[in-house]
Chain A
C-alpha cells in the first residue's frame, strides 16, 4: 500500500513533443504528490507538486494532472527541449517529509 508505481521506465521524444509520465498509488492517505527532476551526478530538484484537492496544476511548461478517484497522477512536459533530458521521479507522502518515490523515468529529448 505504500508503493508508488511509475511508468514508463524510459521515454524518447523529439524536441517540441509532449512526454507524459504516469504514476499510480494505493494509499488514499497520501496528501502530497511532488515530481522531481534529476540530472546525472546531481540531487533531485523539485519541479512541481500537487495536493489531492486540486485536479491540475501548471508551472511553466510542466503540468500535473491528478485523478483522485483513479488514484493516478501524471506529469506533462509541454514543448520539450533537449535540456529536459533527465530522470523524473514521482513521489507521495502523508503529512511528513517521508517521501515514497516511484522507480523513475529516464527521458531523452532529441533535437
Chain B
C-alpha cells in the first residue's frame, strides 16, 4: 500500500512568488492535514480537510490556503512568499479522524526554500 505522497520534494522560489504543493493520501483515507516544520517553530498545524471540507485551520496568515478534491487529494498554496516561509511542509492522512485506533500517517514532505 503506497504511503502519503507529496510533490514536489524540493523547490526553490523567489520572494513574492507563489507556490502550490500537492499531496496524495493513502488509498481510502479521506482526511488530509498539513503542517509546517521549521527549526525555530517546530511542527505547526496548517489545515485539516475531510471530504473536501476544511475542518480546522491553524494560526497562519491568509497567504496560506488549501483545498481538497473529491478524490481526497489535497493542495496547499502559499502566495506572496516571504523568506520566513522556507520550511518543510508535511502532509498527513488518516482514515477516521478522532476515531479509536485512528493513525495519522505523514509523507516525506516538500522542502521549500525562498530566496
Contacts and interface: CB of A to CB of B under 8 A. Distances in A.
Interface of A: 31-32, 34, 36, 41-46, 49, 51, 89, 91, 93-104
A55 B100 CA distance: 16
Contacts of A95: 97-98
A102 B105 CA distance: 17
A32 to B, nearest CB: 8
Which of A41, A43, A51, A95 counts the most B-chain CB atoms under 10 A from its CB? Answer: A43
Contacts of A102: 42
B94 A97 contact: yes
Given A34-B104, A46-B103, A46-B104, A96 B97 contact: yes
Interface stretch (B14-22, B60-68, B78-86, B106-114): B106-114
Given A51-B100, A89-B43, A99-B45, A44 B90 contact: yes
Contacts of A34: 104
B103 A101 contact: no
A89 B107 CA distance: 16
Contact of B108 (A42, A89, A104): A42
Secondary structure dominating the interface of A: loop
B107 A43 contact: yes
Interface of B: 4, 31, 33, 35, 42-45, 48, 55-56, 58, 90, 92, 94, 97-98, 100, 102-109
A103 B42 contact: yes
Q: Which 7 A-B pairs have the closest CB atoms?
A: A95-B98, A43-B106, A101-B43, A98-B56, A97-B33, A97-B97, A43-B108
B112 to A, nearest CB: 14
B105 A46 contact: yes
A93 to B, nearest CB: 8
Contacts of A42: 108-109
25 contacts: A32-B98, A32-B102, A41-B108, A42-B109, A43-B108, A44-B106, A46-B103, A46-B104, A46-B105, A94-B98, A96-B55, A96-B98, A97-B31, A97-B33, A97-B55, A97-B56, A97-B97, A97-B98, A98-B56, A98-B58, A99-B33, A99-B35, A101-B35, A101-B42, A104-B42
